[in-house]
Structure 1
Amino acid sequence: MPFEPLTHEPAVETGQARELARDLVVIPDRGVDLVPNIGVIGGTQSVLVVDTGLGPRNAEKVLAFATEYAKGRRLYLTTTHFHPEHAFGAQAFSGQATYLVNSAQAADLTTKGPDYLEMFRGLGTPVARALEDVELVSPDVVYDETYDLDLGGRIVRLQATGRAHSKGDQVVTVLDASVLFTGDLVEAGQFSIFPWFPPYDVDVSGLRWIEVLRRLAATEPDVVVPGHGGVSGREVLADVRQYLELLRDETWARRDSDLDDDTIAAEVEALMLERHPEWTGQDWITKGVGCFCAEHSDHEAAGTGEASEGRSA
């Protein structure tokens, strides 16, 4: 979610699809803002699509690709979280695919979807055009924590991670291929996206995000498909966790020194850019600082000691 209006079309290009394993392809983001990595995963009976692209026109291209790929197999759709480039094309799949997500994500779609739609429409003419005629649809199947989807000879595990990047984050694991789709819990080659927009949205939790990444790393996937950025090995999980830990530590050290918020943000941003000069999305650094400042204050007020525990992790 960039801050400056986009001047380019956030278009999904299905012709760039890349095979990762048997009957498993990714339509890559190509490094384009507001284009996610999209998965198409097949079994003998069914095919699962992971994420839709921004708006119905992009989703229609994804649906056409998936329908041709499926060759008569049943279609399913899931989304890694409710943000517009990942989920706001689901209407194109209505009547064509069974749409399933976790209950927290379903709630996000209902309670926050309309506001995010309006916010994204303000991100420039190309984005507003992509979001024309969007209808936020309800999932067909809602689960609580884990859902094992049998595609026929292949089990794909959908798992709610709990609050991190959003309340309704979900990872998708292709068990036999050891491929993990993370959504925006992981970005490769860019700073983590913190949707920290007080007072409108403060659900992102840097502390919980770190713990989610620790749990995901313990599953030892061979391949990680991030929400944005290149397909990677499992090391990207540690890279993102270490970045978040450093962002937390440097923010909290300055908060303990009673520096003002602007100084904290400026100093931490400069440090992160020095550590990762090749990463994109630098606007998200200060949003992350804001989130960690708030979490530091919350834990200080609660007197739980969790702040100091987190720093030693």
Structure 2
Amino acid sequence: MVELVSREPVVRAEEARELAGDLVVLPNRGVDLVPNIGVIGGTRAVLVVDTGMGPGNGDAVFEFVADYARGREIYLTTTHFHPEHAFGAQSFSGAATFLVNRAQADDLAAKGAGYLDMFRGLGEPVARQLEGVELVTPDLVYDDSHELDLGGRVVRLRATGRAHSRGDQVITVPDAGVLFTGDLVETGQFAIFPWFPPHDTDVSGIRWIEVLRKLADEHPRIVVPGHGDTGGHGLLADVRDYLALLRDETWVRRDSAMGREEVVEEVTALMLERHPEWAGREWIEPGVGCLCAEHAQR
């Protein structure tokens, strides 16, 4: 389980920065449980990518977006259903059209209440942000992909299939070469594996690697990760290569019939040696656990 969070997970909309024409990001500033939030504009409408955690953050993001939109129609989407990405959606109710892929909508309906309870246990700062959360049913649901015309700019939403979660989606802005990945990519930290057996085991390290391989082949100009600094297309390869190494080092030890605890100990030591500067070391063990389970299913 994730270690307790002591710093307030608050979105700072005033720190928005422009990535391209009529496209800004509210950066997470290295704060745990604050995502990078996107606002993508066209002549007719704007699309918001992720909300922050809880109604306080959702209100702050909506206030920024309402001013930014200047009368344009507002759409909202979320990269996946996890609380820091999607549990501020109520602030947009009645003022925006909320759309996601079907697997994500199913995740939210089936797991949203459980994740709300789990996250409340991460510490008082998180519990405070989650006060008054109401889970919102999306207005529009698509199956595999959806093209959203914002007026002079078409944004593409795509379900990736099971990876970090069952309902991951990526958002591409083709004319700007920008890709929003959600938690398929982080920078400066170990990949987040929500591997919580028996409650949630939908994360797949094997499929995650394949998803990143395909995205890397598209060579986006700018990649906006779920958490951490925005960068170039090399971020996709960096995370893919880390996950492949984690898989290979886990599986070679399982092939030798090494016990799970010993595998965790050895692989964790290796990953910390390779990336001593990365945050989120608590995510190595659940990553190994997930890949041990997938090794057994081969």
Q: TM-score under structure 2 normalisation?
A: 0.99
Q: Note if contact 2:5-2:122 (Cα within 8 Å) is conserved in structure 1.
A: yes
Q: Alignment partner of 2:297: what SS?
A: helix
Aligned to 1:277: 276
Residues 116-136 of structure 1 deviation map (CA, whole Å, 9 limit, x = unaligned)? 000000011111110001011
Q: How does 1:127-276 map to 2 (within 5 A)?
A: 127-276=126-275
Q: Say what the alpha-carbon RMSD is for the aligned residues.
A: 0.7
Residues 132-166 of structure 1 deviation map (CA, whole Å, 9 limit, x = unaligned)? 01011100000000000000000000000000000
* CA distance, structure 2, for counterparts of residue 61 and residue 175 of structure 1: 28
Residues 59-83 of structure 1 deviation map (CA, whole Å, 9 limit, x = unaligned)? 1000000000000000000000000
* CA distance, structure 2, for counterparts of residue 171 and residue 83 of structure 1: 15
Residues 33-92 of structure 1 deviation map (CA, whole Å, 9 limit, x = unaligned)? 000000000000000000000001101000000000000000000000000000011011
Shift of 1:257: 1.0
Aligned to 1:10: 9
Q: Alignment partner of 1:253: what SS?
A: helix
* CA distance, structure 2, for counterparts of residue 23 and residue 40 of structure 1: 8
Shift of 1:4: 2.1
The code of the aligned residue for 1:42 comes to: G
Q: Alignment partner of 2:51: what SS?
A: coil
Shift of 1:218: 1.2
* CA distance, structure 1, for counterparts of residue 125 and residue 60 of structure 2: 17
* CA distance, structure 1, for counterparts of residue 208 and residue 167 of structure 2: 12
Residues 156-199 of structure 1 deviation map (CA, whole Å, 9 limit, x = unaligned)? 00000000000000000011001000000000111000000000
Shift of 1:5: 1.8
Q: Alignment partner of 2:226: what SS?
A: strand
Q: Note if contact 2:3-2:282 (Cα within 8 Å) is conserved in structure 1.
A: no
Residues 217-257 of structure 1 deviation map (CA, whole Å, 9 limit, x = unaligned)? 11110000000000010001000000000000000000011
Aligned to 1:40: 39
Q: Alignment partner of 1:100: what SS?
A: strand
* CA distance, structure 1, for counterparts of residue 188 and residue 227 of structure 2: 9
Aligned to 2:50: 51
Q: Alignment partner of 1:192: what SS?
A: coil
Aligned to 1:112: 111
* CA distance, structure 1, for counterparts of residue 2 and residue 271 of structure 2: 19
The code of the aligned residue for 1:277 comes to: P
Q: Note if contact 2:162-2:208 (Cα within 8 Å) is conserved in structure 1.
A: yes
* CA distance, structure 1, for counterparts of residue 137 and residue 260 of structure 2: 40
* CA distance, structure 1, for counterparts of residue 193 and residue 151 of structure 2: 37
Aligned to 2:20: 21
Matched-pair identity in %: 69
* CA distance, structure 1, for counterparts of residue 175 and residue 279 of structure 2: 33
* CA distance, structure 2, for counterparts of residue 79 and residue 133 of structure 1: 19
Q: Note if contact 2:101-2:141 (Cα within 8 Å) is conserved in structure 1.
A: yes
Alignment coverage as a number of residue pairs: 298
For structure 1, the residue ranges without an aligned partner over 5 or more in a row are: 300-313
* CA distance, structure 2, for counterparts of residue 9 and residue 57 of structure 1: 12
Q: TM-score under structure 1 normalisation?
A: 0.94
